[in-house]
Amino acid sequence: MSLVYHAQAVVIRLLTWLYDLLQLGAVFDAFLKVVMRVTELDVVPDFIIRRGIRLLLKIRLQSMAGSLEQQLERKVAFVQELKCLPVAVQTAAANEQHYEVPTEYFVLVLGRHLKYSSCLYNNPGEGLNEAERNMLALCCARARLADGQSVLELGCGWGSMSLFMAQAFPNSSITAVSNSSTQREFIQRRARDLDVTNLTVITADMVDFQAPSTYDRIVSIEMFEHMKNYAELMRRISTWLKPGGALFVHIFCHKSNPYHFEVKDESDWMARYFFSGGTMPSLDLLLYFQQHLALQQQWWVNGCHYSRTLEAWLVNQDKFRKAIMPIFAQTYGRDAALKWFVYWRLFYLACSELFNYNGGEEWGVGHYLFMKPAAAAASKAA
């Protein structure tokens, strides 16, 4: 035990030393490669992994530091860059990384509603199932949903929000869009099991998706993070809304600094394996894209809620390890099953530490309600 303890202490001191030598990027990158090879063997304790993650988060924050003037200049440049990009990039990679993994895995890891996004814990004693329902209900309230509306959900995952809306508002017509055929098939089966008849599921890539109708409400839960050109996306969404209609957006975000998920070195592990082509918005980023839809209200959800969600997924992954390993063997190959079991654990650990950083006040969840002006839309149509 003493030998293990001293070895762990040495690793932590080495991480700190390398942090102080960040100007030696090649050394740091080579060290992280070695760390990842060892971690893949599933022999590194979680508390060491968490310390390493916190160190990388500290590095990330230092890279975003600067005067208010400098941060604003970077943000404005980021906004202008987004306007020149396609609506989304690397959508095929993102789809493969998450949404074509067998649904059986997510049934084991997620809660009863299969909500693959932040949940909301209203009190310490609540579990994952209650937290899923809390956030679904909150999103419905903040989107100002009412029975009888036509609603479009962009990026529906495994149908948690769409099925919840369809059941809560039986006289509404719900249309859900997913870029995954396996998700569509799963949602349709679950809708039949729940006797839900007011839900239609469409498989489409958001890059070239065109809505088949116009809607009273459009809802998007953690889909905008896969997008780039928000100016064009918001313009398209405005054409899918009826006059006076509203867009509700739920995104994860940093409190002040947006950035791309890019693979620059070994520390960009998340971008390489789980979020290719992704965006970390800042809390105010969408406010720069109001040419067609006007912000009515904005909210912040402390990141600790997301951290607790991810910790619950991690507990389930460990709990159902025996059932998950054959799924990963089928998906990634027998020889790579253990590596990917570790990678998914690292994904949950890394995201949990990120959202828990600084008491959940550094990264968290943003909620937004945008409106399409009724008079302006009507006169433009005329």
| pLDDT band per the 50, 70, 90 thresholds, residue 265 | low
Q: Give residue-wise pLDDT tens across range 290-299.
A: 999 999 999 9
Question: For a pLDDT cut of 70, what percent of the chain falls above it?
Answer: 82
- Distance CA(19)–CA(38), nearest Å, equals 19
Mean pLDDT in the chain? 88
**pLDDT of 382:** 45
Q: What is the mean pLDDT of residues 12-22?
A: 52
Say whether pLDDT at 366 is over 80: yes
Q: Which residues of 188-220 are buried (b: 16+ CB within 10 A; e: fewer)?
A: eebbeeeebebbbbeeeebeebebeeebbbbbb
Say whether pLDDT at 379 is over 70: no
Say whether pLDDT at 140 is over 60: yes
**pLDDT of 377:** 44
Say whether pLDDT at 99 is over 70: no
| Amino acid identity, position 109 | V
**pLDDT of 271:** 56
More confident residue, 144 or 49: 144
In the beta sheet, which residues pair with residue 12? none
Say whether pLDDT at 1 is over 50: no
Say whether pLDDT at 69 is over 80: yes
| pLDDT band per the 50, 70, 90 thresholds, residue 270 | low
First to last CA, the chain: 78
**pLDDT of 23:** 44
Cα angle for residues 206, 210, 214 (degrees, 5° grid): 120
| Closest C-alpha to 266, from 49, 36, 57 | 36
Q: What is the mean pLDDT of residues 139-148?
A: 98
> What are the phi and psi torsion angles at 295 (to 5°)?
-65, 130
Q: Give residue-wise pLDDT tens across range 148-170.
A: 999 999 999 999 999 999 999 99
Q: Give residue-wise pLDDT tens across range 100-113.
A: 689 999 999 999 99
In the beta sheet, which residues pair with residue 221? 250
**pLDDT of 245:** 98
